[in-house]
């Protein structure tokens, strides 16, 4: 049994009538993002190894994916989040029967508390830096190769680089290692682009973008390693243009995604390449009110 679904792949004439732009609809995963794949897989491995509890410190899509996986596997989940986490996010996690513990004023404090709660019977689920997570995300590329031939490039968002590592792994599995990746971030969350430029890990002092799902201050070392081996083109998009991407997807296909995902859509629509696949990574941290308030700014 897998905890993710096989998602639709949609050729979008409405978003881009003159070039071929295909959307891999990871927003349709049960947890609302691609995280269902890697985190679902990692949770299954840890449950088999005997974990009797899962611990997460993400109030975002990663925490939600852990909560979902825990409910499906009948393993209790604790998600420690900082005071800044929205009521809506906490509600969604509780709706998956997970326990939400509010601790500290920043993610770092919540994370510390979460680590203290990890014991021999429980497993901590990292949001992006875990080989099992990359293995799970890689299934996305296997589905692409079942449905069509190789594209000119694949466009994807990068936060901590878990999705990126998984996609590189999937490309190797299906023999598409020459397919370039367009790796998209927003200004103020561009820890991957900066690391590629410097050819070493860069720690951002703070995250200033509204695309909070991309807000890893430092990417996984393995993301940088894999970018050195795989043709990778970093692109950095403004918050306003990321929000514009959300609006375009909403109007074309009536689907609402986070700016973390809108950034990839905008980058794809700006690319001169004629045959692209965009990973619609999704995300539940968005609403019609939020989209409108971002548009006003």
Ligand X SMILES: *Cc1c(COP(=O)(O)O)cnc(C)c1O
Residues near ligand X, by CB under 6 A: 33, 35, 61, 128, 157-164, 213-214, 216, 258, 260-261, 281-283
Closer to ligand X by CB, 261 or 272: give it. Answer: 261
Our CB check for ligand X shows the closer of 151 and 159 to be 159
Which SS3 state, helix, strand or coil, does residue 276 take?
strand
How far is residue 65's CA from residue 43's CA, in Å, rounded to a whole number?
Answer: 10
In the complex, what is the shortest distance from the CB of residue 120 to ligand X, in angstroms, rounded to a whole number? 28
Residue-wise over 140-161: b if at least 16 C-beta within 10 A, else e? bbebbbeeeebbbbbbbbbbbb
Task: Look at residues 186, 291, 281 and name the one whose alpha carbon lies nearest to residue 239.
Answer: 186
Closest to 261 measured CA to CA, from 234, 285, 242: 242
Q: Which is nearer to ligand X, 33 or 139 (CB)?
A: 33
Q: Is 112 helix (H, G, I), strand (E, B) or coil?
A: helix
Comparing CB distances to ligand X, the nearer of 116 and 287 is: 287
**Nearer CB in complex with ligand X: 161/244:** 161
Give the Cα separation of 224 and 165 in Å (integer).
9
| Residue 13 Cβ vs ligand X, minimum distance, rounded to whole Å | 24
C-alpha closest to that of 59 among 26, 27, 30, 101: 101
**Are the beta carbons of 181 and 230 closer than 8 angstroms?**
yes
Nearer to ligand X, 21 or 163 (CB): 163
Quick check: 255 and 234 in contact, CB under 8 A? no
């Amino acid at each position: 049994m897998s905890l993710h679904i096989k998602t639709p792949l949609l050729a979008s004439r409405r978003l881009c009538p003159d070039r071929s732009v295909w959307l891999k609809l990871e927003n349709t995963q049960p947890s609302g993002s691609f995280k269902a794949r890697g985190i679902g897989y990692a949770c299954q491995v840890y449950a088999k190894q005997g974990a009797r509890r899962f611990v997460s410190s993400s109030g975002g899509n990663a925490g939600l994916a852990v909560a979902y996986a825990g409910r499906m596997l009948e393993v209790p989940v604790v998600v420690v989040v900082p005071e800044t986490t929205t009521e809506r996010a906490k509600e969604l996690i509780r709706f998956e029967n997970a326990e939400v513990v509010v601790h500290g004023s920043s993610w770092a404090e919540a994370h510390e508390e979460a680590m203290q709660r990890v014991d021999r019977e429980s497993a901590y689920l990292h949001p992006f830096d875990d080989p099992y997570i990359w293995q799970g995300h890689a299934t996305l590329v296997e589905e692409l190769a079942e449905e069509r031939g190789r594209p000119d490039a694949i466009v994807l968002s990068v936060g901590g680089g878990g999705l990126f590592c998984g996609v590189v792994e999937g490309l190797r599995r299906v023999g598409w290692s020459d397919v370039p990746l367009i790796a998209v971030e927003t200004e103020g969350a561009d820890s991957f682009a900066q690391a590629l430029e410097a050819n070493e890990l860069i720690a951002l002092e703070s995250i200033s973008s509204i695309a909070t799902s991309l807000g890893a201050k430092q990417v996984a070392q393995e993301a940088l390693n894999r970018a050195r081996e795989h043709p990778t083109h970093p692109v950095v998009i403004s918050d306003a243009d990321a929000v514009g991407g959300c609006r375009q997807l909403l109007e074309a296909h009536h689907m609402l995604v986070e700016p973390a995902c809108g950034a990839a859509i905008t980058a794809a629509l700006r690319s001169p390449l004629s045959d692209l696949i965009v990973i619609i990574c999704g995300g539940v941290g968005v609403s019609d009110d939020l989209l409108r308030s971002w548009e006003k700014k």
